[in-house]
Amino acid sequence: MAKISSTPASRSRTLSKELIKAVKKAVKNAYAPYSKIQVGAGVLCKSDRIYSGANIENSSYSLSICAERVALFKALTEGEKKFKILLVYSPQIDFILPCGACLQVISEFAPDIIVATMNNNTEFRFHPFSTLLTRAFVI
């Protein structure tokens, strides 16, 4: 585990080198010809398995999918139900955060997750999910 201390709030948090490596590898598979913003994400499950994903855009923009949802959906389709941390990275945007659609999906499947964001210097910021989406849509 790599100790991360880029911000006061993150000093006590750790991220595995495997999660960081998976996210950096995933971002290389992003397909972003329209926004030019490549995003990679990885979710570390309570089982210690890691699932990663990249954003995939489509000319019909609403049919695009974000890296965060790809990673989470891959985990869910493999039977994972408990999650520790979601790491998000873009080479174009320092400390990129999940969009509103991703936050809404996360609220349903992983409301207690920690969202970590990473910049090109492999520095991190950590956000309890509850601070990112304070009023999720619920039925």
Distance, in Å, from the CA atom of 57 to the CA atom of 46, rounded to the nearest integer, reads 30
Q: Are 9 and 20 in contact (CB under 8 A)?
A: no
Burial of 102 (0-12, 13-18, 19+ CB in 10 A): buried
Please identify every residue annotated as catalytic. 68
